A and B are shown apart, each in its own frame.
Chain A
Amino acid sequence: MSGDVEALPLPRPQRSAPVVESEVLAMVIFVFTEVMFFAGLISGYSILKGRAIAGIWPPVTDPDLPAAATAVSTVALLLSGVAVFLAGRKHAVDASGGLRWLWAALALASGFVVWQVVEAVQLLSAGLTMVSSAHGGFFYTIVGAHAIHAVIAIAILANSIRLLSRAQMTPALFRAIRIFWYFVVGLWPFLYGVIYL
């Protein structure tokens, strides 16, 4: 008799949807720590700048920083942020969309990093080194730390292009990647204002 009764599926326990995806939460926490890391560096630099003898900063013995040329590369980095934003918009409606915008972002950010290397070589040859002055030490530490982040972000972006072209990119992962990219892009104008201007 029991064989005549169809086994009813047991109700699955209902889990409420998470407020935010795990990937996004992890990235937000990571970016939080990164912001504090750069804030510490900027604070140290600001104290050094504020205590400059007779208010002269940077020291007259150090070469001038190429503020105008770096402004151009700053615009390129900001445009890469816009491109990643547009890629996210495209991806929201099409699982494999936004590929062209990601390529554009990759090219713009690569241009920014290449300029950073050229600038560092020029400044090193002009005599500004890590040990030439406290200004030089802070400059290479802060700008170098950001450049490392930019290179890592470019590598992540290149992997994103690979995943997107194979339609393997999940919305949550792409959102987390975009948060990191916005952090790298959004941080730079602040660093530029503190260090170059």
Chain B
Amino acid sequence: MIGRTMLAAAVALVPAPVWACSSCNDPKDLGQDAFLGPTIFMSLLPLGMLGVIGGYFWWHAHRAAGPGSAELSSSPSP
């Protein structure tokens, strides 16, 4: 019984295709595919940029803290 209840709950949680704005999105519209590319693009672009920028800063920080820079900073100043 508990198993069936859990199964029913799990099925109820499975997302069904819904439209955020039913008045301007027709599920039978053949042009719906046009939304897919831009949606993926707009979703991944900020994540990609954050990854690239964060990766660059990480690489820059590690390069600055490398063995060459450590020798440089430990050398006596004139």
Q: Using a CB–CB distance below 8 Å, which chain A residues touch chain B?
A: 17, 19-20, 28, 32, 35-36, 39-40, 42-44, 46-47, 49-51
Contact = CB atoms under 8 A, between A and B. Distances in A.
Given A42-B41, A46-B37, A47-B35, 4 more contacts: A19-B61, A28-B53, A32-B53, A43-B41
Where chain A touches its partner, the secondary structure class is helix
B46 A36 contact: yes
Nearest to B34: A50
A19 B37 CA distance: 36
A39 B42 contact: yes
B33 interface: yes
A28 B61 CA distance: 16
24 contacts: A17-B64, A19-B61, A19-B64, A20-B60, A28-B53, A32-B53, A35-B45, A36-B46, A39-B45, A40-B42, A42-B38, A42-B41, A43-B38, A43-B39, A43-B41, A43-B42, A46-B37, A46-B38, A47-B34, A47-B35, A47-B38, A50-B31, A50-B35, A51-B34
Contacts of B34: 46-47, 49-51
B8 to A, nearest CB: 38
Nearest to A32: B49
Interface of B: 31, 33-35, 37-39, 41-42, 45-46, 49, 53, 57, 60-61, 64
Contacts of A51: 31, 34
B38 to A, nearest CB: 4
A50 B31 CA distance: 7
B30 to A, nearest CB: 9
A20 B45 contact: no
Contacts of A36: 45-46
When A and B form their complex, which 7 residue pairs have the shortest distance between CB atoms, in order from nearest? A50-B34, A43-B38, A51-B31, A19-B61, A51-B34, A47-B34, A46-B38
Contacts of B46: 32, 36
B32 to A, nearest CB: 9
Given A32-B49, A46-B34, A39 B41 contact: yes
Contacts of A35: 45, 49
B69 to A, nearest CB: 9
Nearest to A19: B61
B3 to A, nearest CB: 45
A28 B46 CA distance: 13
